[in-house]
């Protein structure tokens, strides 16, 4: 595919995905996310030609003008759309598939100083919300979605939606995924939830077959009802300044 055909393809992909885009000229002149991708293609070619310093210098120039930091060693697919652009970081060994959408503040980063493949792989059709952090040598499956602000540390299967810190699956293949076992909650408070669940189970066993009250909060509800009734009676004697 020629250079101009690739540019035309990128612009058309933005028009299809961004309702704020009104014309091809506007996309060409006003979308720094596209400029970052185009600059990266040149710096990536320089990187492949072993002109590493020139590639890094060009990537830093692109970072200065677009706010997007893409290492020249990263591999980007076709029709990548980086919306709003600012603050996006893509590491050296990251691999991004075709038709991927990213918003501002996304990081495709590593988790240490090791060598080799240490950054995420995003398969085709992945959507990444703003300020999400995808860390380590993980794979995000085809057509999956990462919620804004999520921290993804493990592989995500295809056609899934993940949210949270750390991220967990909430939808898969269009079906809601419910967590019923506290051991499946990947959260700093997981141990506390597990201990609380165990305590509740212990108390239920100690209660044995004793019937539970049908309305455990009946007394509290009666008090609230009486209080509301008292307030209603007071309103007719309280002037709020009407007629002044």
Question: Per-residue pLDDT tens for 91-137?
Answer: 999 999 999 999 999 999 988 777 889 999 999 999 999 999 999 99
- The residue written with tokens 């493949």 in the block is 117
Helix axes of 52-66 and 32-48: crossing angle, nearest 10 degrees: 170
Residues in the chain: 244
Q: How many helices (H) and strands (E) does the chain have?
A: 6, 16
33 in a structural domain? yes
Beta partners for 176? 171
Into how many domains does the chain fold?
2
Strands across the sheet with 121-122, in order? Answer: 75-76, 95-96, 121-122, 139-140
Rounded-to-integer distance, Cα 43 and Cα 147, Å? 30
Pick the more confident residue, 53 or 177.
53
160 and 206 housed in the same domain: no
171 and 208 housed in the same domain: no
CATH number of the domain enclosing 76: 2.160.10.10
Instruction: List Cα–Cα distances, 124 to 17, 30, 60, 169, in angstroms.
Output: 15, 25, 27, 19
161 and 225 housed in the same domain: no
According to the model, what pLDDT value does residue 114 have? 75
169 in a structural domain? yes
Range from 23-27, 95-99, 168-172, 222-226 carrying the lowest mean pLDDT: 222-226
pLDDT tens readout for residues 17-68: 999 999 999 999 999 999 999 999 999 999 999 999 999 999 999 999 999 9
157 and 199 housed in the same domain: no
Rounded-to-integer distance, Cα 102 and Cα 175, Å? 24
215 and 133 housed in the same domain: no
194 and 143 housed in the same domain: no
pTM of the model: 0.73
**Domain assignment of residue 165, given as a range:** 3-178
79 and 200 housed in the same domain: no
Q: In the chain, what percentage of residues exceed pLDDT 70?
A: 86
According to the model, what pLDDT value does residue 198 have? 80
Range from 104-108, 156-160, 184-188 carrying the lowest mean pLDDT: 184-188
100 and 202 housed in the same domain: no
If you average pLDDT over every residue of the chain, what do you get?
85
244 in a structural domain? no
Q: In the chain, what percentage of residues exceed pLDDT 90?
A: 58
Q: Are 136 and 151 in contact (CB under 8 A)?
A: no
168 and 197 housed in the same domain: no
Closest CA to 106 of 159, 30, 36, 54: 36
């Amino acid at each position: 595919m020629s250079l101009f055909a690739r540019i035309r393809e990128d612009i058309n992909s933005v028009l299809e995905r961004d309702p704020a885009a009104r014309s091809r000229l506007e996309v060409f002149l006003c979308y720094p996310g596209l400029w970052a991708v185009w600059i990266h293609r040149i710096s990536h070619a320089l990187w492949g030609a072993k002109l590493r310093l020139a590639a890094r210098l060009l990537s830093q120039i692109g970072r200065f003008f677009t706010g997007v930091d893409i290492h020249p060693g990263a591999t980007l697919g076709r029709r990548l759309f980086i919306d709003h652009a600012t603050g996006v970081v893509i590491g050296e060994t990251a691999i991004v598939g075709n038709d991927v959408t990213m918003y501002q503040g996304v990081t495709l980063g590593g988790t240490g100083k090791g060598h080799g493949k240490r950054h995420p792989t995003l398969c085709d059709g992945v959507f990444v919300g703003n300020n999400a952090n995808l860390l380590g040598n993980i794979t995000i499956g085809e057509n999956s979605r990462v919620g804004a602000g999520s921290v993804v540390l493990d592989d995500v299967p295809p056609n899934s939606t993940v949210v949270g810190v750390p991220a967990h699956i909430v939808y898969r293949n269009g079906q809601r995924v419910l967590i019923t076992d506290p051991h499946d909650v990947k959260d700093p408070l997981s141990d506390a939830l597990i201990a609380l669940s165990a305590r509740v189970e212990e108390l239920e066993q100690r209660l044995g077959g004793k019937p539970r009250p049908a309305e455990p909060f009946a007394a509290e509800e009666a008090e609230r009802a009486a209080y509301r009734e008292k307030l209603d009676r007071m309103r007719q004697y309280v002037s709020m300044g009407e007629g002044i």
